[in-house]
Amino acid sequence: MNLIIDVGNTRVKAAVFKEDTLLELVVFDKRKIISEIKKILAKFAVSRGILSSVSVISLKKRQKLQSILPVLIVSATTKVPFRNLYKTPKTLGVDRIALACAAFKMFPKKNILIIDAGTCITFDVINEKGEYLGGAISPGVKMRYQSLHYFTAKLPSLEIALPKNMIGKTTVESINSGVVNGVCNEIDGVINQYKSEFQDLTIVLTGGDTNFLAKQLKSSIFANRNFLLYGLNEILIFNKK
């Protein structure tokens, strides 16, 4: 069995896979990473793991992990099954690498646009030749709400909410309409741009805001908020060869 560890800014997702089947997913505070991983190892017969981190995890904790389980730490130099055509591969985020691996595995010989709606919204393209071409990075939904409050004197700090009407009749309604409709129209617009370039384009939506956005988008999509975990598992399998 494989243990997939995805470290975010504050939380960790740890998933147990048997081959390519997800058996269990646990989410916990980053400060508890060692104790929570030990609990998982006591429950499952895990043989090796993989660690992906978009935030800083101390050398001491990495060494502790390595002492209790062989762990592959994902970086820009990690071997992957697709051909990377990004002009600055060392700057490509490990999350985008993992998403590309998941797309390559699940949709072979397809043109794929992966949209990761999290802290940022990323767009990544794998073509039917198995080549990673790059994509785009845009502010995420929560970041847009926060920026309106942070960069103005009077706009309130709000939680994400679906707009009741397109035309906001209060400041709160106007912010919800502007942010959510803006994000959805942006994503639909980007999808249409890529569809004009690639035939039979498969659209994947993932990330923390997947469930919130999926029903708002006009395009037909494959939604899986744990897509990145499948990609990390594929990287681990690929590097066992």
Amino acid 16: pLDDT: 96
Amino acid 228: pLDDT: 95
20 is catalytic: no
Distance CA 124, CA 114 (A): 5
Q: Tell me, which fold does domain 2-73 have in CATH?
A: Nucleotidyltransferase; domain 5 (3.30.420)
Amino acid 241: pLDDT: 67
Q: What are the residue ranges spanned by the domains of the chain?
A: 2-73, 83-232
Using the predicted structure, report yes or no on whether residue 187 has a pLDDT greater than 90: yes
Report the relative pairing of strands 71-73 and 201-206 from DSSP bridges: unpaired
Q: Choose the catalytic residue: 6, 95, 116, 209.
A: 95
Using the predicted structure, report yes or no on whether residue 218 has a pLDDT greater than 80: no
What integer is the mean pLDDT of 207-231?
A: 87
Would you say 171 and 202 are in contact if contact means Cβ atoms under 8 Å apart?
A: no
Domains 2-73 and 83-232 share a fold: yes
Q: Does domain 83-232 have CATH number 3.30.420.40?
A: yes
- Over residues 30-74, the pLDDT tens digits come to 888 899 999 999 999 999 999 998 766 777 888 888 889 999 999
Q: Give the SS3 label for residue 75.
A: coil
Confidence band for 164, pLDDT divided at 50, 70 and 90: confident
Using the predicted structure, report yes or no on whether residue 9 has a pLDDT greater than 80: no
